[in-house]
Amino acid sequence: MAKEPGKSVILDAAEKVFALNGYAGSSMRMIANEAQVAQALIHYHFDTKDKLFEEVVARRSSSINSARKQSLDQLRADGRLDLEALLLAFFRPNLVLGHDTEKGGQFYARLIATTSSANDERSVYFTRKLYDPIARLYIEAIHEVLPGISDKDAVWGYLFLVGVSLTSMSKTGRAAGLSDGKCNEDDLEEILSRTVTFVAAGLRALEQTNV
Amino acid sequence: MAKEPGKSVILDAAEKVFALNGYAGSSMRMIANEAQVAQALIHYHFDTKDKLFEEVVARRSSSINSARKQSLDQLRADGRLDLEALLLAFFRPNLVLGHDTEKGGQFYARLIATTSSANDERSVYFTRKLYDPIARLYIEAIHEVLPGISDKDAVWGYLFLVGVSLTSMSKTGRAAGLSDGKCNEDDLEEILSRTVTFVAAGLRALEQTNV
DNA sequence: GTCTATAGTTCGATAGAC
DNA sequence: GTCTATCGAACTATAGAC
């Protein structure tokens, strides 16, 4: 079925174009063409390119961040908060969205990976605004499950954790290329279990260095 | 002392502008202004924006990659190749360059982090051309020092390793912000030892899952 | 809401003087 | 080798018909 014109069609198109070309590398014409609407319609609904980008990111980030916060609270309430559970709570929302073609969110993971690695003012602004609050929550939780870890190691460990998750989220095809096809970037559980194993061991090792 | 006009002044300016704004977000005018030369002079020396970018990257990547290859060969020749030595051989060239203000290479690390996380055709092309050969070398070396690791885990482990190193290389100020100033992104050895500890434990854990 | 047409700006690249 | 000046294309955004 053909999609009807409207805001969501434009948001989907913009998400894809921004993810594949970055903010500066994307033009309103490319997005209009992808969405099969007139360029002026995008300005009617979203005003400027800047505000369009903000709405693209806001649509997904709020659900991811609230899922991450709720999972953490739930685990704590149930007394089941350990390191592996913490990592699963963090990774799963992003990976699920990044691999879920139904929701049309398969490009958001790439968009976030690109944005959070960029150094321009807009990208840094978005990263801090959207992800620093969640970061502080998870750094605090790392202290709970690894009581021996130092403040510095908890922060560096969290940043390493994010670096690993961005790698596994991006679906650039590099894993398949370097493994001659053995690694399957579409196998969600395969990636998730490896990521958790790797990061959990890394964080425990950081805790050990402070004993 | 003021720098004299010429190719190296333009390359330094381009490296900085590209690192801070990305390829698409950088204009020849911005670079000309940063270098304090006429825009036409950049075209005289480098022809197109594309070729300028290629020369900016080539200037640093060749020395980094040959350092990585030579360190690996030397360790093997000396019979001192273990996991920690392998990781140090990989991380040090990039970290040293990223923190060395004398050489003027302090922006290259950010440029590479941005480029290797981007999904546009040019960035993917550069990442594969410049870094896939070194990647295959180090994946092979991972198999040597961790004989029990599976092919898939070695590739995923290598990609996680790269993800962690990009995080610690970038100097975005996020570590300082999240730790209320406790983490010092300028302390090279502090970052390097943490990175090695974290990644070594992660890779050993991946090896263990296959026993 | 959605379109066509276009104004006004900025871009990469080139011509030509020195 | 370095400059000023400018061309033609692409860009964001807007005006106005429907």
DSSP symbol at B173: S
Nearest one of B106, B87, B92, B78 to B12, comparing CA atoms: B106
Q: What pLDDT score was predicted for residue A172?
A: 83
- Check residue A199 and give its pLDDT: 98
Scanning B95-124 for CB atoms below 8 A from A yields: 110, 113-114, 116-120, 124
Using the CA of B49, give the nucleotide whose C1' is nearest. C12
Distance CA A24, CA A47 (A): 17
Lowest mean pLDDT among B59-73, B85-99, B109-123: B85-99
Distance CA(B197)–CA(A154), nearest Å, equals: 13
Shortest Cα distance, chain B CAs vs residue A180, angstroms? 10
The domain locations on chain B are: 59-208
| Cβ within 8 Å, pair A114-B113 | no
Task: For chains A and B, count residue pairs whose Cβ atoms are closer than 8 Å.
Answer: 182
pLDDT of B2 reads 46
Q: How far apart are CA B75 and CA A41, in angstroms?
A: 61
Span CA (A28) to C1' (D16), Å:
21
Distance CA A27, CA B124 (A): 20
What does the pLDDT read at residue B189?
A: 87
Any strand D atom closer than 7 Å to B4 CB: yes
Residue with more model confidence, A101 or A34: A34
Distance from CA of A75 to the nearest CA of B (A): 23
Name which of B3, B2, B56 is nearest B31 in CA terms.
B56
pLDDT of B167 over the 90 cut: no
**Polymer length in residues for chain A:** 211
A139, A160, A184, A188: best to mutate for the B interface, most B CBs within 10 A: A160
Q: Report the residue from B114, B179, B206 with minimal CB separation from A118.
A: B114
User: Which nucleotide is the nearest neighbour of B25, by CA and C1'?
Assistant: C11
Range of weakest confidence among A12-21, B152-161, B202-211: B202-211
Q: Does A202 touch chain B (CB under 8 A)?
A: yes
pLDDT confidence of residue B98: 67
Q: For strand D, which residues in window 179-198 of chain B come within 7 Å by CB?
A: none
pLDDT at A95: 75
Work out the average pLDDT over B86-108. 81
Percent of chain A residues topping a pLDDT of 90? 81
* pLDDT tens digit sequence for B53-90: 999 999 999 889 999 999 999 999 999 999 999 999 99
Between A22-26, B95-99, B148-152, the lowest mean confidence (pLDDT) is in B95-99
A52 close to B (CB below 8 A): no
pLDDT at A38 over 90: yes
Nearest nucleic acid nucleotide to A36, CA to C1' distance: C2
CA B184/CA A209 separation, integer angstroms: 18
Contacts A172 to B, Cβ<8 Å: 119, 124
Is A20 in Cβ contact with B24 (below 8 Å)?
Answer: no
Spatial distance from the CA of A116 to the C1' of C1 (Å): 35
Query: What mean pLDDT is predicted for residues A159-187?
Result: 91
Residue B151 has pLDDT above 60, yes or no: yes
> Which DSSP symbol is given to A25?
T
At A102, is the pLDDT very low, low, confident or very high (cuts 50, 70, 90)? Answer: low
Query: Could you say which residues from 150 to 169 on chain A have a Cβ atom under 8 Å away from some Cβ of chain B?
Result: 151-153, 155-160, 162-168
Task: Report the CATH number of the A59-208 domain.
Answer: 1.10.357.10
- Which pLDDT does position A98 carry in this prediction? 66
Using the predicted structure, report yes or no on whether residue A32 has a pLDDT greater than 90.
yes
Short-list B196, B198, B203, B157, CA closest to A203: B198
